Amino acid sequence: MSKSSHLADRIQNLQPSAIRELLKHSKMPGVISLAGGIPSSELFDKEGLAEATKIVVDQNFNDAFQYGLTEGNVELRQQLVGLCQERGMTTTPDQMLITSGSQQALDLLIRALANPGDVFVVERPTYLATLQILSLTEATVQSVGGDEHGMIVDELEALLKTTRIKGVYLVPTFGNPSGTTLSAERREKLVKLAIEHDFVIIEDDPYGAISFTDNREKTLFQVAAELGNHENVVYTSTFSKILAPGLRVGWILMPEWMKQKVAIIKQATDLHANSFSQSLVSAYLSLNRLNPQIALIRDAYKQKCLSLSKYLQDELGDHISFNQPQGGMFLWAKFRYDFDTTKWLERTLAKGVVYVPGEFFFSDNADKKTLRFSYATASDEQLFEAVQRLKSAL
């Protein structure tokens, strides 16, 4: 008998992250990576992080290296109240849980909500790691379409006429992988459906601060509050894309009926998020450097996005179409004719450029003509060269 038979049934068919596998290729000499959703380390605030580290060591040494509260560093949660207020959300420290990035937040939330067979709805396409988490809980995943205005909420409304669902997961602002933003009209309709049909919305917001314009859609959490509902929307965000991913600091805002149970799951997982990282983020926020840092990132990514868009349009416009991103880190493209971007990756790798084939972001009805580019880490010269290599691979 194979030793693998000892493994739990629910993980027998679990697949590795396609993006993590592709990152191996991106480290090869001469390869230009448009694959991983990795922020540019060149933009990290080295001076600010160094100053924050000194504050922690000099002023908060014991707490930074000691066990902490499962709910998270009290001072950090108090500071996050202000950050959330800047995003239009009214909350309290008691409503928060600090996590090891938003990745852990999603794992905790879905484990708290999902029984085997419970129906969760995602956008088509959606964030790959969420599909992995849902698979581990043995939930049933169904999908509804998306377009340039985000999730097609009318499709969800039609599904609700025949199906009882437990939750909806989405990245409503500058989505991963689509780069699109859910319209204001659809946001309100989605929240009203959640209230009417009593399902939970998990709002994942890693990219909302990285806007290339001054336009700001209300978070679903804010929309729900304005409708007088605080029970059906859970909000999660992270410092990974706006400060540094290696810190692994994210947070959840959730209703009272969830908070204690999610905290207990976290206790069983890791007791609490990294004490040093929490203290460092708190010290950094006290320096009032975050908003200037976000402005720097926004400007840099906007220029990278505009460059990649121009090069793709000029060189591959006859072959692919795409919506122009208004923020975030991703450009989602689609071939104008039947094409398999997974197979094509072998040719582009031979030319020295890597992207993520779109089929990995679908729970069903995968569109093999699609692919995701990330422009965050490449220089302008690399973006130009990458598109030239993609063209030659055709």
Please state the rounded mean pLDDT for residues 320-341. 97
Residue 163 CB neighbour total at 10 angstroms: 13
Give the span between the Cα atoms of 306 and 186, in whole angstroms. Answer: 27
37's tokens: 């959703």
Query: What's at 123, amino acid-wise?
Result: E
pLDDT at 37: 86
How is 308-356 classified by DSSP, letter by letter?
HHHHHHHHHTTTEEEPPPSBSSEEEEEESSS--HHHHHHHHHHHTEE-E
Query: Exposed e or buried b for every residue in 62-85, given b needs 16+ CB within 10 A?
Result: ebbeeebbbbbbebbbebbbebbe
d(CA 349, CA 347): 5
- Give 190: exposed, middle or buried? Use CB within 10 Å, 0-12, 13-18, 19+: buried
CATH 3.30.1360.120 fits 3-45+292-393, yes or no: no
Mark 217-256 as b/e (b = at least 16 C-beta within 10 Å): bbbbbbbbbeeeebebbbbbbbbbbbbbbebbbbbbbbee
Instruction: Please tell me which residue, 285 or 230, carries the higher pLDDT value.
Output: 285
Q: Which two tokens stand for residue 63?
A: 């707490």
* Domain spans in the chain, listed from the N-terminal domain onward: 3-45+292-393, 66-286
CA–chain centroid gap for 272, Å, is 21
Rounded percentage of the chain residues whose pLDDT exceeds 90: 91
Question: Does 253 score more than 80 pLDDT?
Answer: yes
CA-CA distance, 285 to 48, in Å (whole number)? 10
DSSP codes joined into one string, 129-166? HHHHHHHHTTPEEEEEEEETTEE-HHHHHHHHTT---S
Q: Is the pLDDT of residue 25 over 80?
A: no
Cα-based torsion angle of the residue sequence 165, 125, 151, 140 in order, rounded to the nearest 10 degrees:
0
Instruction: Take residue 106 and report the two structure tokens written for it.
Output: 């999603």
Q: Give the tens place of pLDDT for each residue, 234-244.
A: 999 999 999 99
Task: List Cβ neighbours of 78 (8 Å cut-off, separation of 6 or more).
Answer: 93
Average pLDDT over residues 146-170: 98
Residue 362: its pLDDT value, please? 95
Can you name the CATH fold of 66-286?
Answer: Aspartate Aminotransferase; domain 2 (3.40.640)
What is the secondary structure of 39-56 as a DSSP string? --GGGS-HHHHHHHHHHH
How does residue 280 score in pLDDT terms, banded at 50, 70 and 90? very high
* pLDDT score for 8: 79
Query: pLDDT exceeding 70 applies to what percent of the chain?
Result: 95
Q: How far is residue 188's CA from residue 190's CA, in Å, rounded to a whole number?
A: 5
Please report which confidence band the pLDDT of residue 24 belongs to, taking 50, 70 and 90 as the band edges: low
317 vs 7, higher pLDDT = 317
Is the predicted pLDDT of residue 2 greater than 70, yes or no? no
Q: Is the pLDDT of residue 354 over 80?
A: yes
pLDDT of residue 6: 74
Task: Tokens for 88, please give them.
Answer: 């239009």
Tokens of 195: 């209230």
pLDDT, one tens digit per residue, over 79-124 is 999 999 999 999 999 999 999 999 999 999 999 999 999 999 999 9
Question: What is the per-residue pLDDT across 174-201, written as a single tens digit (0 to 9) for each?
Answer: 999 999 999 999 999 999 999 999 999 9
SS (H, E, C) 54-92: HHHHHHCHHHHCCCCCCCCCHHHHHHHHHHHHHCCCCCC
pLDDT at 19 > cutoff 80: no
Decide if 165 contacts 199 (C-beta within 8 A).
yes
28: pLDDT confidence band, cut at 50, 70 and 90? Answer: confident
Compute the half-sphere exposure of residue 301: CA atoms within 13 Å on the CB side of its CA: 34
Question: Measured between alpha carbons, how far is residue 194 from residues 199, 236, 306 in Å?
Answer: 5, 17, 36
For the chain, the average pLDDT equals: 95
Question: What pLDDT, on the 0 to 100 scale, is given for residue 15?
Answer: 67
pLDDT 10s digits, 39-81:
999 999 999 999 999 999 999 999 999 999 999 999 999 999 9
Give per-residue pLDDT as tens, 359-393.
999 999 899 999 999 999 999 999 999 999 999 99
